[in-house]
Amino acid sequence: MSAKQAFNPYLPSWEYIPDGEPYVFGDRVYVYGSHDFFNGYVFCMGDYVCWSAPVDDLGNWRYEGVIYPRNADPLNKEGKMCLYAPDVTVGPDGRYYLYYVLDKISIVSVAVSDTPAGRYEFYGYVHYPDGTRLGEREGDEPQFDPGVLTEGDRTYLYTGFCGRGDKSRTGARAVTLDKDMLTVITDPVLIVPGSEYSAGTGYEGHAFFEASSIRKVKGRYYFIYSSEVMHELCYAVSDEPLRGFKYGGVLVSNTDLHISSYKPAELPMAMGANNHGSIEQINGEWYIFYHRHTNGTWYSRQGCAEKLTLNEDGSFEQAMITSCGLNGGPLEGRREYPAYIACNLFTEKHSLYLGEPGAPKITQDGRDGDEEPGYIAGMCEGCTAGFKFFDCKGVHRVSVTTRGYAFGGSFEVRTKWDGEVLAVINIDSTNVWETFSAEAAIPDGVNAIYLTYRGGGTAMLKSFTLE
């Protein structure tokens, strides 16, 4: 177990960094992503920032500050455009190159730094030898979500966006860049098809949508992407960087769809939307980084991570979403935990996508940037928050800290989402956070904790305590 317990989301509850690209540089893991705002009204409203953690203490994240402001690009001096999901690679010269696309321009921009956490300085635009920028030559498809991998003097760049019904976009495409990190030296090639071109390819139902990312695992190339259903990250594998990719499977779904170990495979346990992330090996273990949605919208996303199992044949098993992703094992079974680490959050309808009226949501007080702890709002009749996993020993009481207009309300405690009720915690309607508790016979061992609200009105859930 890490020196400090790690939760999901792995960053503070008031930080919103989706589209995470994790990399180990030296003895630290760095995460690069876009930057949402709490209560944001569009995607990626902030400057690029970076967080890092020691590889042997994945619960101890350090804020590295702003690494690249949105107005640093010459085409965005007024800062009107948003910085979409970036990626970073180490060039042949040992410097760190940041690739990104602005939200209104279909070309790839590049910034560079001497250190992983910057600050990065604008470097140039990816272009063909004649100076035409990639994305602007006849026949090019719009650039989006760059993923990069450098080997020797060459860098492979993967981009694309393919919405359903749009036949003008074929799928994820890749080019090779020269050692200057800007000049395209091989023409774009299709590596994974979009939904309009997936028939007969093996990608049916999991065709490319967006979120290109590339990694090398045991000599083979793994292309990670968000599929046409949006809530899942999938992967394709090849022995070569520009061709031969075959569909591998799902790495994670931010709804836990397809997972059948604790519920029916096609039953969603959280309300999903888009997804973006990648894999990285940390201290000999593989992890998938992804994001979840908060505040009931698409625009306030937070980074999460789960341990992956790599099989002998090179395949990855789909990871279950948990509250303890980077912890290396279950959380301690006797202490208070914040409600914002809920990995399952659903109503009796079990909606697959965001948008169900009256659904609960993870949110916070204050404005973006205020270091206010997250909590769950909108817990109404039949709403359930689930937390996984805890190493329970001698737990005989469960407490909840709540507020809100909850009339005749209570929380049922279970260790399975559809299991036996082990305790009922009666709560009062209250304007401030108050704690209520009940005796509960929680079995010893590794358990999930599910809290289901019963009663009138709605409750807000700040935390729960196992004691």
Residue that finishes a domain, picked among 327, 349, 365? 327
Segment 71-123, tens digit of pLDDT:
999 999 999 999 999 999 999 999 999 999 999 999 999 999 999 999 999 99
Indicate whether 180 and 154 sit together in one domain.
yes
Residue 15 domain-assigned (yes or no):
no
First to last CA, the chain: 21
The strand pair at 184-193 and 208-217 is best described as: unpaired
Indicate whether 56 and 201 sit together in one domain.
yes
Where residue 269 falls (left for φ over 0; alpha for ψ -120 to 50; beta otherwise) is: alpha
Which domain covers residue 351, as residue numbers? 331-466
Q: Is 183 exposed, middle or buried (0-12, 13-18, 19+ CB in 10 A)?
A: middle
Indicate whether 319 and 303 sit together in one domain.
yes
Give the pLDDT mean for 242-266. 98
DSSP class per residue in 37-72: -TT-SSS--S-EEEEEEETT-TT--EEEEEEE-GGG
Residue 101 domain-assigned (yes or no):
yes
Indicate whether 184 and 313 sit together in one domain.
yes
Residue 266 has pLDDT above 50, yes or no: yes
The strand pair at 406-414 and 344-346 is best described as: unpaired
Residue 141 annotated among the catalytic residues of the structure: no
- Alpha helices, DSSP H, located in 111-157: none
Number of folded domains in the chain? 2
Indicate whether 352 and 417 sit together in one domain.
yes
Q: Which of 15, 19, 36, 196 is catalytic?
A: 19
Whole-model pTM over 0.75? yes
Residue that finishes a domain, picked among 279, 311, 327? 327
Residue 433 has pLDDT above 50, yes or no: yes
Coil vs helix vs strand at 75: helix
Specify the CATH number for the domain of residue 190. 2.115.10.20
Residue 256 annotated among the catalytic residues of the structure: no
pLDDT for res 106: 94
Residue 148 domain-assigned (yes or no):
yes
Indicate whether 361 and 292 sit together in one domain.
no
Segment 197-209, tens digit of pLDDT:
999 999 999 999 9
Q: Which of 141, 145, 210, 256 is catalytic?
A: 210
Please enumerate in sequence order all residues whose Cβ is within 8 A of that of 402, keeping only pairs 6 or more positions apart, or say none.
Answer: 411, 427, 430, 433, 434, 436, 459, 460, 461, 462
Segment 215-234, tens digit of pLDDT:
999 999 999 999 999 999 99
Residue 67 domain-assigned (yes or no):
yes
Question: Residue 2 — very low, low, confident or very high, per pLDDT cuts 50/70/90?
Answer: very low
Evaluate whether 347 touches 356 at the Cβ level (below 8 Å).
yes
Indicate whether 220 and 281 sit together in one domain.
yes
Q: Is 67 exposed, middle or buried (0-12, 13-18, 19+ CB in 10 A)?
A: buried
Residue 3 domain-assigned (yes or no):
no
| Mean pLDDT for the chain overall | 97
Write out the two tokens for 418.
């559809």
Specify the CATH number for the domain of residue 424. 2.60.120.260
Question: Residue 189 — very low, low, confident or very high, per pLDDT cuts 50/70/90?
Answer: very high
